[in-house]
Amino acid sequence: MQTTRFKIAEAARMVGVSPSTLRLWESQSLFEPIRTESGQRLYDGDLLERLKRIAWLRQEQGLNPAAIREFLKTDEDAGPDMPLPPAAASLPERKAGADEIPVGHKVRRMRRAAGDTLETVARAIGVTTSVLSTFERTSQGLSLTALHAVAHYFGTTVSILCGEDTTRPNESLVRYGEWPTWPATSSGVTVQVLAEGAKQMQCHRFQLAPGASSEGAYQHDGEEFIYVLTGSLEIVLDGDQFFELNAGDSFTFESHRPHSWRNSSKSETILIWINTPASF
């Protein structure tokens, strides 16, 4: 089977950066693109995963090129089930609960408790073993779609995996700008909690960088409501029904329908996203 390869403009959009940024990272020896006989740059799935990691290390963690090269080298040298590399262990985590363990470590504990191998879980959720291994060590590199598949595999939800507090009283006051935030597992996708506690609905604020997407379709029980605050969002239902939402638009659909999404604007898109019951 032929591996899909993307041109630089497509790869940059999927990573959430500009083509010139990819050229800069290449000049800094952070990666080496595939070259055609004519010298055209191409990018496959493994390269895209590396680029997303670089983007997170640069944008979220503020590492310089030398530190990124060292981190990537440590990551590549580590075996699938080796302890978290020191470079990764020193990086701060953004999470909904202050005492929550990193989501990747939580998945590794669940997998080991179930007696499953990396290969078994990776095959079940549709990613490579190396991607899952890296996620378990760094909590990075899984799309929201893949994270949903992980949660389904272990009989839980993405919200619980990401550390949402379900022990609070029924009343939930979250001040403006003080939203608890899920760990940033996927490049360009920030999910913030608008209502905490054990509720029949889940209320989130999504911030999507240009080009950010679910990277695939997922489905679960319930109903969904979306309200676009700024930017634009493309929703795809059942693989062949496309809906373009702009600022001020709202949209509802049944969660059991396979759905995927992406920021279709050239700027940040911000959404209010509500799921009921709490199955996401």
pLDDT at 28: 85
Q: Which spans in the chain are helix H? A: 8-15, 19-27, 45-59, 65-77, 86-89, 103-114, 118-125, 129-138, 144-153, 158-161
Check: CB of residue 33 under 8 Å from CB of residue 23: no
Which of 73-77, 89-93, 95-99 is the most confident on average?
A: 73-77
Using CA atoms, how far residue 181 sits from 69, 193, 243, 275, in Å, is: 28, 6, 27, 17
Residue 60, amino acid:
E
| Per-residue pLDDT tens digits for 13-41 | 888 788 888 988 898 889 999 998 888 99
Assign domain 200-276 to a CATH class: mainly beta
Q: Name the CATH superfamily housing domain 86-161.
A: lambda repressor-like DNA-binding domains (1.10.260.40)
List the chain domain ranges: 8-77, 86-161, 200-276
Check: CB of residue 140 under 8 Å from CB of residue 185: yes
**Among residues of the chain, what percentage have pLDDT more than 90?**
29
Q: Hey, CA dihedral for 188, 51, 30, 131, is it positive or negative?
A: positive
Model confidence, pTM: 0.61
Do the two domains 86-161 and 200-276 of this chain adopt the same fold? no
pLDDT at 165: 67
State which fold the 8-77 domain adopts: Multidrug-efflux Transporter Regulator; Chain: A; Domain 2 (1.10.1660)
164 pLDDT band, cuts 50/70/90, is confident
